[in-house]
Amino acid sequence: MELFSDQFNGYLWQMVQGAYITLQLFAAGFTLALVLGTLIGIVTLSRNWLIQAVWKTYASIIMGVPSLLIIFLLYYGGSAMLSGLFGTDRSFDVTPFGAGVTALTIVYAAYVAELVHGAVMNLPKGQFEACSALAIGPVAAWRHVILPQLTRLALPGLVNIWMIVLKDTPLVSLAGLNDLVANAKIAAGATKEPFIFFIAASLFFIVFSALTLRLSARLEARFGRGLAEVKA
Amino acid sequence: MSALPIDFALAWDSLPQMAEGLVTTLLITVLVLVLGLPLSVLVTLARMSRSRILSWPAAAFVVFFRGAPLLILLYLVYYGFGQIEALRDGPLWVIFGSAFACAVIGLTLNHVAYMVEVVRGSLNAVPAGLVEASAALGLTPRETFTYIRLPLAMRYGLAAYQNEVVMFTKGTAVVSVITVIDLTAVANELFEETYDPFTPMLTAAAFYWCLVNAIRLGFGALENHLNRHQRREQAVKPTTPAGAAAAAAEPPAGAPVAPLRRMIGSDRRPVPVKAAAPALSTATPKEHAL
Amino acid sequence: MSALQTETGPQPVAAPRPIAVEMTGVEKYYGKFKALSGIDLTVRKGEKIVICGPSGSGKSTLIRTINRLEPHDGGTIVVNGITLDGSPTSVQDVRLECGMVFQQFNLFPHLTILENCMLAPRLTRKLSKTQAEALALKYLERVHIGAQTHKYPSQLSGGQQQRVAIARALCMEPPIMLFDEPTSALDPEMIKEVLQVMEDLAEDGMTMICVTHEMGFARRVANRCVFMDQGEIVEEARAEEFFEAPKSDRLKAFLAQILH
């Protein structure tokens, strides 16, 4: 097949549209996981045994089971679950995209929560004690002292999770989502040019990660400002 | 409809099939681990080499096979190499014609690329002060690597290695897309036969959960073995980073210090003479309970 | 380079002893930052030198150039007749002449106390296992750690760890010992046990160069004290003069700060 023939360009255009869907899935999944995970991370700082038991079970299951299985479970079983929750009189359509976003959120919220946990544990106890000693209330302490430091401590881990979520998005194509990888596979099969299309798809992921890594390095430098001064 | 969405009879009947799938999953995991470890050390050495002829290809290898999603790598190996005419007729077709072998190749490439960062990271995690101390004692760089850096890196890297092994074991679930009948493939087949959306997936999930936790237990035992006499390290640590920070205040930074610790530690003033405890016998120093 | 620098410090002994370390015009840069400028320092065999100065004054850098943990950028350093020219053999030879004790102890965490002390003698002095063990035990006894040789560093207190680090350096039986702020990372109650070991060593006639803020130790042990600031040797004098009659303003200010 000729490069840049009409047929080739058609497949290329399909891949671009697929890439758009991949990015949407990624953005939705990561954002929701970040918000939910941070909330879970803060709530589970509580020593309440029930909260701890629920958290430990949730984390253990998520971290012990492939995300692909969770995507399948939500896609195949999603409508049954929704019916179970909201009554059987209505029927629910579960799209691959919906199932994918939900699965990525549920899975990576656990990882984000664990990261937040670790960051809080790594904060020197003195930070909390100093806030108490200065009579700063708990809300103000979190807002002005703890969270800004957490962001910096958790940033490298968040970048890591970002990369993993990005590379997990193609799994949703196995539930029928027409994303970048699904379209690459169709193009590769139809044109018998697997190397071109699969390598192009890989490069999309590689370039996207490289760009975000650069951004995160800048962010880290920004968050590290106060520290650089102390070092000198 | 029962309260629980799980059909226990179906789960029980599917156990033999599931077990077969598990064996395939295990086989792939073990093969990739065994192939991956020596390969990752080789690629890491190439990556850290001063010669650009070695380090650049190794770096490119890592960027590509780490950056590309596993699913694409599997497609690339399975469909890509299947298209090459020369390969179809050659003796290597035994390998590239088999979906199982393609799965092992794709996973190994991905695993090795991740492991290069693990191995490199743990070698770099060895505190600079220890390498310096070794040099100050007159050990050659090679001796320092063999007796100090490598054994310590193995201990530091264990947690990251465990993480990678767990991640990639879970990652093997995608091999079903290139027709390998692993645990996930078995669950999918059963779903298509029974249209029960929960039972097969949850049964497979239980198998994966047990496998992953067995791996965790194994690593835990290994770690205990390697650190058998160092359980008190945690208790002593607090003095070290603070002190290391004081060293970092002088231009040549000492051991790597967590950024926050550095901020706190730099307040430490040299201790005045007067502060020395008045009546401390040096002959019989205070014993620390274990 | 400055007029303040005493070129002929009062000699502690009448007959000049052979020279152990001779630094002439030593310079060291970190990028554009001049960490050492025109350092001239002569240490004779058996002398005990204490180097002090504010943080960032280059005192650690100075002591680290002597065994080439930091390569110097200008001037010459001669240690026991070996010129440090950067060749691998000279570096190796100089490191066998100098034992070094670090602020952070830097014991090898994966080796027992005994193994920490045996490693270098076995590798560089090619001693047999029994010989190395006997040697290690001898020096561990000397720093009063004889009973805990099979523990790991993390199981000891900071003071004990630092004494092991001293024993580990002594096991190479070096003629010169370098101490880089050996007590700065220790809790106050542990400083004395380490200083006591160092004083014992001094009494045995070891050549010692010591970066420290322990002024009591300096008064009791040092033949000469060297004050550094901003990468230069500002003042160099016998211990009594150094403390009782400091000449330069910078040293006066420093002493006022450190002695309250």
Of A61, A69, A153, which is closest to B184 when you measure between CB atoms?
A69
Weakly modelled stretches of chain C, pLDDT under 50 = 1-9, 11
Q: Give the Cα separation of C237 and C245 in Å (integer).
A: 10
Kindly tell me the burial class for residue A125, based on how many C-beta atoms sit within 10 Å of its own C-beta (0-12, 13-18, 19 or more).
Answer: exposed
Residue scoring higher pLDDT (B250 or B218): B218
User: What is the per-residue pLDDT for B95?
Assistant: 73
pLDDT at position A126: 79
**Residue pointed to by tokens 């990639």:** B168
Number of domains in chain A: 1
The answer to whether C6 and C236 have CB atoms below 8 angstroms apart is yes
Flag whether pLDDT at B270 surpasses 80: no
Best of B268, B282, B284, B287 to disrupt the C interface (most C CBs within 10 Å) is B282
Q: Do C124 and B290 touch (CB under 8 A)?
A: no
b/e burial code for range C9-20 (CB count within 10 A of at least 16 → b): beeeeeeeeeeb
Residues 106-165 of B with CB under 8 A from A: none
The helix/strand/coil state of C16 is coil
Measured CA to CA, the distance from residue A72 to residue B201 in angstroms comes to 8
User: pLDDT for B41-84, tens place per residue?
Assistant: 899 989 988 899 999 999 999 999 999 999 999 999 998 887 77
Residue the block writes with tokens 């390498």:
B131
C82-83 sheet: strands from edge to edge: C33-44, C19-30, C74-79, C82-83
- Whether A218 shows a pLDDT value over 80: the answer reads yes
Q: Domains for chain B: give ranges and CATH numbers.
A: 8-226 (1.10.3720.10)
A69 within domain boundaries: yes
Please check whether residue A15 lies inside any domain of the structure.
no
CATH number of the domain residue A157 falls in: 1.10.3720.10
DSSP 8-state class, residue B249: H
In a domain, A52, yes or no: yes
> Could you give the CA distance from residue B44 to residue B34 in angstroms, rounded to a whole number?
16
Question: Strands C176-180 and C207-211, how do they pair?
Answer: parallel
**In angstroms, what CA-CA distances link A198 with A26, A188, B81, C39?**
19, 7, 12, 63
pLDDT at B129 over 50: yes
Instruction: Give residue B80's pLDDT.
Output: 85
Tell me which of A54-63, B41-50, B90-99 is least confident.
B90-99
**Residue A197 domain flag:** no
Q: Which residue, A21, A164, A183, is CA-closest to A97?
A: A21
In a domain, A109, yes or no: yes
pLDDT digits (tens, 9 = 90+) for B112-121: 999 998 999 9
C-alpha to C-alpha distance for B100 and C254, rounded to whole angstroms? 73
Cross-strand bridge partners of residue C43: C21
Q: Is C32 on the interface with B (CB under 8 A)?
A: no
DSSP code for C23: E
A227 pLDDT tier (thresholds 50, 70, 90) = low
User: pLDDT tens, A65-80?
Assistant: 999 999 999 999 888 8
Contact C76, C70 (CB under 8 A): no
Q: Is A57 a domain residue?
A: yes
Instruction: Write out pLDDT tens, residues B234-253.
Output: 433 333 333 333 333 333 33
- Answering whether pTM is above 0.80, one says no
Q: Would you call B260 and A122 a contact, using CB atoms and an 8 Å cutoff?
A: yes
**Residue B29 pLDDT > 70, yes or no?**
yes
CB interface of C with B, residues 82-111, below 8 Å: 92, 95-96, 98-100, 102-104, 106-110
> What's the rounded mean pLDDT across residues B3-12?
76
Q: Are B157 and B164 in contact (CB under 8 A)?
A: no
Cα A128 from Cα A133, distance rounded (Å): 9
Task: Specify which residues C232 forms β-bridges with.
Answer: C229
Give the pair of three-digit tokens for residue C156. Answer: 């000891």
Report CB contact under 8 Å: B134, C69: no
Tell the burial category of A191 from Cβ atoms under 10 Å away from its Cβ (0-12, 13-18, 19+).
Answer: middle
Which one of A73, A122, A159, A222 makes the best mutation probe of the B interface by having the most chain B beta carbons within 10 Å? A73
Calpha distance B22→B37 (Å, rounded): 22
Domain that holds residue A59: 20-179
Distance CA B81, CA A59 (A): 39
8 Å CB contact of B266 and A206: no
Q: Is the pLDDT of residue B271 over 70?
A: no
Please indicate, yes or no, if residue A43 is contained in any of the structural domains. yes
What is the per-residue pLDDT across B134-179, written as a single tens digit (0 to 9) for each?
999 999 888 998 899 988 998 889 989 999 999 999 999 999 999 8
Would residue A10 count as lying in a domain?
A: no
* pLDDT, tens digit, 9 for 90 and up, residues A87-145: 766 677 889 999 999 999 999 999 999 999 888 888 877 788 787 777 787 888 888 88
For residues A123 and B261, give the distance between their C-alpha atoms in angstroms, rounded to a whole number: 9
